[in-house]
A and B are shown apart, each in its own frame.
Chain A
């Protein structure tokens, strides 16, 4: 057996001083040569054992595609990935690999895990640059047998785009309805350019176009057209509307003018390109000192965007470092770039100035108990001690809940947290309507949303080809 190479081949990154002043992508990815070097580290665990495949939410045959990288056959590597994941350039960049495939990698038990995420990204990027993905798509296009049935997709985020692609490949006539003026959902309004360049998304959308997917922008389902209308006009409907509504802290000062939800801040910066104001018309106001409240990927995206707009940035979190939910790479990049972190601080008041702008945030100091909550996080309690930090901008990134537009305008059964009730086949309580992604999970990941899109596509195909009746009762499946 080959000797285990303990250290991973790192991907080159743009120097810190260069990236803090621009929104260009931070991680440069592998070249062909170093990708092959990293691929050599994979032990090629057999598919029926490989922990990485089990660790992947959509069960990509990881050892198989890595073996093709070793052989230099990138087209085959891409074909293997595409079987389970049609957007590898995106997941390679945004998946929390350290909690999934890489967490259970056998090499990781003696050294650092194989850099699966970056290898996935390499396959996708290399294929795109060399036009290999187009070749592969042409091959798939030839195999498509057109079916005389129509499917509507609501929302063009990762769940919707995946479902659209899968259904189009099965031969269905697919129409995607998007509320905004751009396609991509969280991939376009949420994740910044420095983490996911918009050209990559555009290239994925070109593929959907080739597959004949029609996209209707500026259509808010529930308002512009109702779900009942879609249900009548289309043979099946998939809802992938995400968890689009930001949560706010109901504490004094929340209406102050310079407090943003992360969604507002990131939408201004990413979708509306406020970082290019006044070339672009949408403004964003970032002062000298920004406090970001939260500890997930959205908080890191907001913090690093504010930093790039010239602000000093502090991330304040009510728990400790080990409970942060952001990808380790994002935390690492944020630190490198100069974002400061304060732990065990829970905001209790935003203090404003005479112009209705924030000037400071008052926090209660928290402490962790040994006891853990249902998510495995240590419980925290207030200490009764307070600290006030100066800030002229605050970004709140404490999470999202599903937008109620869809559920309120139709007769769906909804869970107490606003997510739609679905069974194990992602069927909702409305006949012919399925749902996936954050609309059913609350807040999850891009890859889980894509997994749902794929699963729903298969379920829609089954429903439309078998003629099986819709169940009278839908029993909520647990995630």
Chain B
């Protein structure tokens, strides 16, 4: 039984869920993810992990499609998820690099930001966290930011309402100019990650990014998440999901996100219609 033990709103679009999953929590390491199913007829969804302590795992989820909306609307503390499998993927190497940056601009990235820097700090690194949001309303409550595990913490917003105006690329550009970065990790929107790869490439700064792809099993069985990496086919679920950004073929990665766009839209619309009818009000 994967019982939900905590659930909190992070922003109008994101929420936090904590689930009992001791088999995963005991083995999980930064860079790894889980695959969950909300119910028996559900989809298998890969999910980044924010914390894994005391037999529980915490996750940040964005209300993007049917499953994420359904967990937000219908699953409360005390309810159980159908399946939580993991940890999956290859852990990143936690060691002393010097100055470690983690940059994120979306839900899964923010979870990885905290998770990675927490251990990088313990390993004796100087940790810099950059978290990008759209505007003031989207900024997470302080306890869910990576502030507590970062020696330097930056927030950016697109409209400048909180922190620095712009996104994490702007901060990284400055940090590079100050010559203070040994390695950059990043997760979130794929388009920004592709730009990050181009930004750091000329400087030869090691840049590791989470290449999030559509997955089914998450164990290397189906190849749905295949990417071209250094000219070879790699599976994001098994060989990643963190990859050296300079070796990823970003063009194909970005295009593969749209594989099931129509069906995803249909499922979401049908679900919203169903709950709007039953509640008599707009949910999202």
Residues of A within 8 A of B (CB): 179-181, 189, 216-220, 223-225, 244-246, 248, 250, 254-255, 257-258, 260-261, 263-264, 267-268, 272-273, 277-283, 285, 355-356, 403-405
Contact = CB atoms under 8 A, between A and B. Distances in A.
Contacts of B220: 244-245, 403-405
Given A218-B85, A244-B221, A283 B216 contact: no
Nearest to B235: A245
A257 B44 contact: no
Given A281-B66, A285-B259, A218 B216 contact: no
A138 B260 CA distance: 49
B35 to A, nearest CB: 8
Contacts of B227: 255
Interface stretch (B102-110, B153-161, B162-170, B261-269): B261-269
B88 interface: yes
B43 interface: yes
B256 A257 contact: yes
A257 B266 CA distance: 18
Contacts of A403: 219-221, 238
B103 to A, nearest CB: 26
Contact of B263 (A219, A267, A277): A277
The dominant DSSP class at the B interface is mixed
A224 B217 contact: no
B263 A263 contact: no
Nearest to B45: A281
B41 A273 contact: yes
Contacts of A261: 222-224
Contacts of A277: 263, 267
B86 interface: yes
B262 to A, nearest CB: 8
Contacts of B41: 273, 279-281
Given A250-B233, A263-B222, A255 B252 contact: yes
B222 A264 contact: yes
B138 to A, nearest CB: 27
A220 B88 contact: yes
Contacts of B264: 283
B256 A255 contact: yes
B226 A248 contact: yes
B27 interface: yes
B236 to A, nearest CB: 12
A225 to B, nearest CB: 7
Given A179-B217, A224-B24, A255-B228, A246 B86 contact: no
Interface string B243-262: 00000010010011011101
A246 B84 contact: no
Nearest to A356: B255
Given A272-B44, A281-B43, 10 more contacts: A218-B83, A219-B85, A223-B86, A224-B85, A248-B226, A255-B249, A258-B259, A280-B42, A282-B43, A283-B260
B259 A264 contact: no
Contacts of A224: 23-24, 27, 85-87
9 contacts: A224-B85, A254-B226, A263-B222, A281-B41, A282-B216, A283-B267, A356-B258, A403-B220, A404-B220
B270 interface: yes
A145 B41 CA distance: 40
Contacts of A272: 43-44, 216
Nearest to A217: B83
B37 interface: yes
B258 A268 contact: no
Given A255-B226, A405-B238, A180 B258 contact: no
B67 interface: yes
B82 interface: yes
B136 to A, nearest CB: 34
Interface string B209-241: 000000011011111101110001101001000
A356 B261 CA distance: 12
A282 to B, nearest CB: 5
B226 A223 contact: no
Contacts of A278: 263, 266-267, 270
A358 B222 CA distance: 19
B38 to A, nearest CB: 8
Interface string B54-69: 0000000000001100
B219 A244 contact: yes
A341 B44 CA distance: 34
Given A218-B84, A272-B216, A223 B27 contact: yes
Nearest first, the 6 A-B pairs at minimum CB distance are A283-B263, A264-B222, A181-B83, A218-B85, A356-B255, A281-B43
Contact of A355 (B232, B258, B260): B258
A218 B259 contact: no
A248 B32 CA distance: 25
Contacts of B259: 257-258, 285
Contact of B233 (A219, A248, A257): A248
Nearest to A264: B222
Contacts of B224: 260-261, 264
A263 B217 CA distance: 10
B223 A263 contact: yes
Contacts of B258: 257, 355-356
B252 to A, nearest CB: 4
A220 B222 contact: no
Q: Which of A257, A258, A355 lies at the interface centre, i.e. has the most chain B CB atoms within 10 A of its CB?
A: A257
B37 A181 contact: yes
A459 to B, nearest CB: 27
A267 B217 CA distance: 8
Contact of A267 (B86, B222, B226): B222
A246 B263 contact: no
A478 to B, nearest CB: 27
Contacts of A282: 43-44, 216
Contacts of A257: 255-256, 258-259
A358 to B, nearest CB: 12
Contacts of A283: 260, 263-264, 267
Contacts of B24: 224
Contacts of B235: 245
A301 B270 CA distance: 31
A280 B44 CA distance: 11
Contacts of B86: 218, 220, 223-224
A111 B267 CA distance: 55
A246 B44 contact: no
